[in-house]
Amino acid sequence: MKNEGRLDLESVGHVGEVLTEDQKNNGLLIHALQSIQVIHNYLPEEELKSLSKNLSIPLSGIYSTATFYKQFYFTPRGRNIARVCTGTACHVRGAGEILDAIKEEFNIKEGETTEDASLTLETVGCVGCCGLAPVMTMNEEIVGEVETEKLESIVERIRGNGE
Ligand code: FES
């Protein structure tokens, strides 16, 4: 397992020659972290301990790398990820009310996941659809012009997916 995924120097030519062993190991570590997160939706501590043992990298080093990247999570994530855009255009057009309504509906704060893991609520900076403000994302989908009716439908979807 330790050498799996290592770069083959001949296949990458001069790039391989200039990469240090640490850089190569770091690439392998990030790939392994991504794989663990795909399986669990976050990075469980037990998996990180196992990774530490298998890659002979101190657990502190693994946490140091993982915390550097925003893509990694250390607590369980919801089956649905709702992100409310809090960029300027969305803020002006009611992002705060949307955020408050979701918080109240699911009894969670920003950054939290519901107990039944149906939803993780987050905020995000401008997602580039300011003309559709206020905007939120539901998993990979962008939802624009969010108003009461759309919000109700989103809540229903989350509840449906959460059961
Ligand atoms: S500010 Fe929300 S999409 Fe630009």
Render pLDDT for 25-84 as a digit per residue (tens, 0 to 9).
Answer: 777 899 999 999 999 989 999 999 999 998 888 999 999 999 999 899 999 999 999 999
Checking DSSP bridges between strand 136-138 and strand 119-124, what pairing results, if any? Answer: unpaired
In the predicted model, what is the mean pLDDT of the chain?
Answer: 87
Assign 66 to helix, strand or coil: helix
State the pLDDT at residue 112: 93
* CA–CA separation, 87 and 131 (whole Å): 12
CA–centroid distance, 123 to ligand 1, in Å, is 11
Helices marked H in the chain: 9-12, 14-18, 21-40, 45-55, 59-68, 88-92, 95-106, 148-162
pLDDT at 4 over 90: no
Site residues for ligand 1, CB cut-off 6 Å? 85, 87-90, 126-130, 133, 135
State the pLDDT at residue 19: 60
State the pLDDT at residue 96: 96
- pTM score of the predicted model: 0.73
Taking residues 139-159, report their average pLDDT.
92
Phi, psi of 85 (to 5 degrees): -75, 130
pLDDT class for 163, splitting at 50, 70, 90? very low
CA–centroid distance, 155 to ligand 1, in Å, is 21
Burial of 123 (0-12, 13-18, 19+ CB in 10 A): middle
Mutate to test the pocket of ligand 1, among 85, 123, 124 (most ligand atoms within 8 A of CB): 85
